[in-house]
Amino acid sequence: MLNTCSIDHLHDYLERENYEMEPRALAEVEAHLEQCSDCRSYLEDLTLLKGELAAMPLKALPDGFEEELHARLVEEANVKLVSKSSRISNFTHSTSFKVLSGIAAVLIIAIVVVGTAGNPLRNLLSKAKSEEASIDMAMGGAPAPAEMPAASMDRDGTVVFEESMNNAKGFGETQSAPVEPGAAPGSSDVFDPSLFGKMIIRNGSVSLEVEEFDTAYTQIEEIVKALEGYIESADTYSTPIYDNNGRRGDLQGGTVSLRIPSTRFDAAMQQIKTLGTVTHSNISSYDVTENYVDTQSRIKNLEARELRLRELLQRAEVIEDIMEIDLQLANVRTEIDSLNAIIKSYDKSLQMSSIQVSLNEKPLSESTITTLDDNLFDRMRANFIRSINAVVQMFQTILVGLVAILPFLLIFGAVLYLVLRFVRKFLRNRKQSL
Amino acid sequence: MTSNDAVLIQKSKQGDVHSFELLISKYQVYAYNIAWRMLGNEEDAKDATQETLIKVFKGLDKFKENSEFSTWLYTITVNTCRDQLRKRKKVMTLSVDDTEEKVSIQLVAEESADPAVRLEQKEVAGQLLSALGKIPEFQKTAVLLRDVYGFSYEEIGAIENCSVGTVKSRISRGRHGLRSIILNERSNKIQEGGTI
Ligand SMILES: [Zn+2]
């Protein structure tokens, strides 16, 4: 059958809905299919096969896939900053002795394996630590800006909030948030954003490279305090790095979410930018005036409607009417509540701008890596590498030397041999003659 | 490429992990499934997909803005899996000879003798997976991308870095091989049944 028939055309025919066939080719195939039952059944098989292939289910990502990827991506994002060229450059110079470089390569592999084997574990540990430390305060906020729970950080990047979370409860509401300078302090529900003309929500993000994470964090705390804002959440992590000697240190980094009174937003952005080298900064503003006014007027309309329904309810006598009005009243109330919630969240965003600050330590220069336990291992490794370099070099020198004097050795050996033979012969002759 | 992707790529290049995760959210399931079908088990598929996505993140600077991001991602997926398979093969040839492969190639080469023999849906559904494992790798990938995941010829050509003609011939040979293997499987069974 298939020797005389064109299989390729049948595959084209199979795909004709996705890829239009040339009219003539199409006509030919169709004419052939008319008279060739083999091709018809082959095509049916293909159709069945294609259908079954298309029906093969997609497999969902395995559990924990995204979490694992996230951790690795965060690590990559930080490693990106650190130069990777610093690993054991001494070994890579070319040598003509393949055997020796082979030995060296094996040793390098051994060293690198030993060196890196510790890392995933350590990363995992520090990751776990920083996760513990990321206390999300978004739900709470601060009781009052002046009573912010003081956060301090220890060497591992663990955030220690000195005040208990219970104390921080129940703030972040519009009432307790700092108010515009014009409004009377204490009576913050006077605040009406629509009084300020255009209503613009402004948020910002700044990425900084800083000398020392802890210092920068403390400075941010001070800025936030001075501007009567609060820290919403803080998330820290640390990344191991290598320098030219193969030593390891940890780079600390973190993301801090701040809330700053919107009137002081610019000041906050400016001050934060002075804390380090700005690698990225962004300000977004959303004009919500229209939405805000619109939402407010919808609330007013609904409230008017609610009032009318109540009046109707009082006058209603038939039970069906009462039930119907009740139902409508409930619906109106639900809608009013949800619109009020929207207004409330607008209010919060209008009063308090949010700023995301990411802090990353600059890759440290040699002298500043001082953590002892890390360094002991790293120094040992560096010295080990150095000794091996020395041994390799010694072998190289000896071999080079040997090869270089080989011709002389050969000649010297030959001469020595001849001399010795001559001497022996001479002695034997003398013995015989005696 | 959607303009949304372009924005996310820009942010991802600056090291924004969150943007990158958004960017790949549409594609990672497909990448995982391609890897799963190519490698044949979940563990390897997971590792290969993670490796792929990390490579994509690290290599974003090398991505050309005017090309399709998804295609680029799938290219890396396929190549990563292929590296895996190559490594596996090396280990295999050290220990076992590749008789299994020879058998499968033989099966593909054999024309199904009787044209009257037809596929049955039940056996296709049951044997598709094992049959996929027996056709040559490049044909298998082409069939997977076209018939299982619905990629166009052009996309597959971009992923595999070959012409549409090559893609089409790989697909038809792949389908043809699948059919032959499934039919052969049946005739083997019948023979076994006959001798008992
Ligand atoms: Zn025919």
Give A6 Cα–ligand 1 centroid separation in angstroms.
Answer: 7
Q: Is the ipTM of this complex over 0.85?
A: no
Percent of chain A with pLDDT over 90: 13
Contact A48 B53 (CB under 8 A): no
Look at residue B98 and tell me if it is in a domain: no
Cβ-nearest to A76 among B30, B57, B168: B57
Which among B88, B118, B138 is the end of a domain? B88
Q: Chain B interface, mutation test: which of A2, A45, A359, most B Cβ atoms within 10 Å?
A: A45
Which among B27, B57, B88 is the end of a domain? B88
pLDDT in the model for residue B129:
84
To the nearest whole Å, the CA of A178 is away from the closest chain B CA by 31
Element (H, E) at B36: helix B28-39
Contact A73 B20 (CB under 8 A): yes
Interface contact A8, partner B, CB < 8 A: yes
Specify whether the CB–CB gap between A311 and A325 falls below 8 A. no
Contact A73 B148 (CB under 8 A): no
| Token pair recorded at residue A290 | 């229209």
B141: CATH? 1.10.10.10
Between CA B48 and CA B35 the distance in angstroms is: 7
pLDDT in the model for residue A169:
36
Look at residue B99 and tell me if it is in a domain: no
pLDDT in the model for residue A118:
43
Q: Are residues B54 and B116 in the same domain?
A: no
Q: Is the dihedral of CA B90, B96, B98, B101 positive or negative?
A: negative
Q: Are residues B84 and B121 in the same domain?
A: no
Q: Are residues B74 and B124 in the same domain?
A: no
Contact B32 A54 (CB under 8 A): no
Give B170 Cα–ligand 1 centroid separation in angstroms.
Answer: 21
| Token pair recorded at residue A312 | 């109707």
Name chain B contacts of A1, Cβ cutoff 8 Å: 115
Interface contact A73, partner B, CB < 8 A: yes
Contact B57 A38 (CB under 8 A): no
Give A48 Cα–ligand 1 centroid separation in angstroms.
Answer: 18
Between CA B66 and CA B26 the distance in angstroms is: 19
Helix residue ranges per DSSP H, A316-371: 319-351
Residue A101 neighbours by CB under 8 Å, 6+ apart? A94, A95
Q: What are phi and psi of A60, to 5 degrees?
A: -70, 155
Name chain A contacts of B116, Cβ cutoff 8 Å: 41
Q: Are residues B7 and B55 in the same domain?
A: yes
Stretches where chain A sits below pLDDT 70 are 1-4, 80-197, 240-249, 363-379, 433-434
Cβ neighbour number for residue A166 with a 10 Å cutoff:
8
Look at residue B95 and tell me if it is in a domain: no
pLDDT in the model for residue A152:
39
Q: What is the largest CA-CA distance in chain B?
A: 68
Contact B175 A49 (CB under 8 A): yes
pLDDT in the model for residue B79:
94
Q: Are residues B115 and B43 in the same domain?
A: no
Look at residue B96 and tell me if it is in a domain: no
Specify whether the CB–CB gap between A53 and B146 falls below 8 A. no
Residue count of chain A: 434
Q: Are residues B83 and B115 in the same domain?
A: no
Look at residue B101 and tell me if it is in a domain: no
pLDDT in the model for residue A330:
87
Q: Are residues B80 and B115 in the same domain?
A: no
Give A31 Cα–ligand 1 centroid separation in angstroms.
Answer: 10
Q: Are residues B114 and B84 in the same domain?
A: no
Look at residue B102 and tell me if it is in a domain: no
What does pTM read for this prediction?
0.43
Give A43 Cα–ligand 1 centroid separation in angstroms.
Answer: 10
Report which DSSP code applies to A149.
Answer: P
How many domains is chain B built from?
2
Q: Chain A interface, mutation test: which of B8, B32, B127, B164, most A Cβ atoms within 10 Å?
A: B32
Contact B118 A44 (CB under 8 A): yes
Give B124 Cα–ligand 1 centroid separation in angstroms.
Answer: 23
Q: Are residues B124 and B159 in the same domain?
A: yes
Contact B171 A11 (CB under 8 A): yes
pLDDT in the model for residue A100:
52
Domain of residue B183 covers 110-192
Between CA B36 and CA B46 the distance in angstroms is: 8
Give A45 Cα–ligand 1 centroid separation in angstroms.
Answer: 14
pLDDT in the model for residue A379:
67
| Token pair recorded at residue A112 | 């690198």
Between CA A150 and CA B71 the distance in angstroms is: 50
Element (H, E) at A256: strand A248-261
Stretches where chain B sits below pLDDT 70 are 1-2, 91-117, 190-196
Nearest Cα neighbor of A10 from B183, A378, A21 is A21
Q: Are residues B70 and B19 in the same domain?
A: yes
Q: Are residues B120 and B181 in the same domain?
A: yes
Q: Are residues B7 and B53 in the same domain?
A: yes
